[in-house]
Structure 1
Amino acid sequence: MSHIASLIPSQPPDSALALQPIGGATQANRWRTEAMRSHATPRLLFIARGQGRIIIQGLTHGYFANNLIYIPARTMYGFEAGPTVFGHLLTLPRAMASEWPSEAVHLRLRDVMAQKEFLTLFDGLERELSSDRQHARRAAHYQTGLLAVFFARQIDNQRNTGPDVDRRNSSAARLVAAYTDLIERHFPTDKGIADYAATLGVTATHLTRCCRQTSGQSALTLLSDRRHYEACRMLRETRAPIADVAQVAGYGSAAYFSRVFQARAGQTPSAFRKSVPEQRRAGKH
């Protein structure tokens, strides 16, 4: 396992406050949003327009305009970002994580005044992040702190209401959430669905049934999706040999990885890597 850890590229941007637009992903880049992934630090997803679905810890939610979705560190998720969707993904520094919830939260801002208040705070954050003025980064961190306060107040206003509360607390949702947590810890290994099910004290059939119930996907699909994202990320953002990518992403061998990857992506790992300009492959996330 130590060898695998040494192959995984460092991810310094995860420690920095950053904002990136999302939506309208091309077919070639849909893996960046739709494939299951997680991050070392939290994320806040703001949907400005459009609608789609997001899967967090194996539970599917529908999202619409004026939705805020908070995703804690090391939480597996993936979402649709079709041509009608536009929004932003905010990377929250590790040092600020304690100011945000310890679990995933999906807020639907239906009140017009709440929407205006959020947009005012968000516009201020975006302005400071794009500014070259003195102390802009410091101002951006303060703006993010105000966003955290706004988010906490909205949670208090919406706490224990809506259909998502019962869905999250169902036995199936709890089991699938535990399964996705295990995937995050063990996907680089050769553990199969039966191994995960045994760890959770259920049968593989029951685990798959619960995954389909909460996310519409099988247990195997969720695991394969997480491995595929890691493989894509390493191919696009590092110069690691194909055999090392296969190992880090949890495939048994480079040959098996190449077959599975080509079947899913429509091209070999080498061709996928060559489709991105060399200067963008910096060896880090």
Structure 2
Amino acid sequence: MRIFSETRPDINMAHKTRRFRIENLPRVTPETRWRTEAMRSYAQPLLLWFTRGQGRITVAGVTHGFGPHHAVFLPANTMHGYEMTGQVFGTAVYLPPDRSLNLPEEPLHLRFRDVQQQAELSNMIENIQNELKSDRPGKDRAMLAHAGLLSVWLDREVDGGDRQDLHPDAARRLAAAYSAMVERDFKHGQTINYFAAQLGVTPTHLTRCCKIASGRSASALLADRIHFEARRLLTETRRPVKEIADELGFNSAAYFTRAFQKQTGVTPTTFRKLS
């Protein structure tokens, strides 16, 4: 794969490769559990490689169990969250939103029983990580090349591997469609009635399908997504509470404070001080 011209470097290359990031899955405490369990998304593709432990992961409104040697690929802006049973070990690989990589356009959940498959994926992640840590010439090109190989490998495993069907029935397909709408519109102050009408179903039917797919109601998924964003903004910025409330579609700071306290048990100001 030729990523850019040998004689004229791509002016966007540095920006794209800065989006590479590899982290160990976090050690969760009661105070930080929301960072993994609450519904959220990222503006870039993400590969989760679980190597030890087990739990449940919700991807686009549909919940499945995961265990050792499960890989979950999430395209950019895919709403998700996962709950861990005990300590889980693994790696989160954040990839650049570069169309030339031809990464999958739909979420994937793959299980690898074969030791060689497990080693191949771990080695590809390690290759990217080694380049990230290095200062060798051609580092940016090398990372994109390794990411391209990872994309090809995922395509091959989808064709012949042990893949979980994330949307095996109408209920889960509806939950996935709802999840995509929530991710797009959760800051606009819309109600469940609005989302149900857009999907051509009743609010009762939408909630029933969400409970089948994820064990949670439609309103719980929406609230979870909104309040993850609220907690993120409170911990990662110094923006006033009123400004955060406005961005998230609340009519007033007082209404936001009541809703936040109901969801988290503390006020936004207290949460910020404790974080």
User: Which residue type is aligned with residue 156 of structure 1?
Assistant: D
Please state how far the C-alpha of 1:136 moved relative to its aligned partner.
3.1
CA distance in 2, matches of 1:13, 1:138: 10
Amino acid across the alignment from 2:77: R
CA-to-partner distance for each residue in 1:68-121, whole Å, 9 max, x for gaps?
111111211111245410111111111157521110011101111111222222
1:207 aligned residue: 206
Aligned length: 261
Task: Indicate how the Cα distance of structure 1 residues 226 and 49 shifts in structure 2: closer, same or farther if over 3 A, else same.
Answer: same
Q: Which residue of 2 aligns with 1:256?
A: 255
Query: 1:181-260 to 2 correspondence within 5 Å?
Result: 181-260=180-259
Give the secondary structure class of the aligned counterpart of 2:126: helix
Any conservation in 2 of the 1:36–1:226 contact (CA below 8 Å)? yes
Change (3 A) 1:201 1:186: same
RMSD over aligned Cα atoms: 2.0
Conserved in 2, the CA contact under 8 Å of 1:23 and 1:82? Answer: no
- 1:175-218 residue CA offsets vs partner (Å, 9 max, x unmatched): 11111111112111221111111111111110000000000000
Percent identity over the alignment is 44
**Which residue pairs with 2:10 in the alignment?**
none
User: Structure 2 regions of 5+ residues with no counterpart?
Assistant: 1-14
Instruction: State yes or no: 1:55 paired with 2:68.
Output: no
3-state secondary structure, aligned to 2:77 = coil
Alignment-mate amino acid for residue 92 of structure 1: L
Per the alignment, residue 89 of structure 2 pairs with: 86
What's the offset of the Cα at 1:275?
3.2
Q: What are the superposed Cα offsets for residues 104-162 of structure 1, whole Å, 9 maximum, x if unpaired?
A: 0111011111112222222222222222334334322222222112111111112xx66
The SS at the match of 1:16 is: coil
Report the Cα distance in structure 1 between the residues aligned to 2:188 and 2:195, rounded to whole angstroms. Answer: 11
Tell me: CA distance 1:65–1:93, structure 2 relative to 1, closer, same or farther (3 Å): same
In the alignment, is the contact (CA less than 8 A) between 2:16 and 2:98 conserved in 1? no
User: Which amino acid in 1 is paired with 2:252?
Assistant: S
**d(CA) in 2 for partners of 1:259 and 1:14?**
41
14-23 or 45-54, which moves further after superposition?
14-23
Distance in 2 (alpha carbons) for counterparts of 1:52 and 1:169? 20
From the superposition, tell whether residues 82 and 235 of structure 1 become closer, same or farther in structure 2 (CA, over 3 Å).
Answer: farther
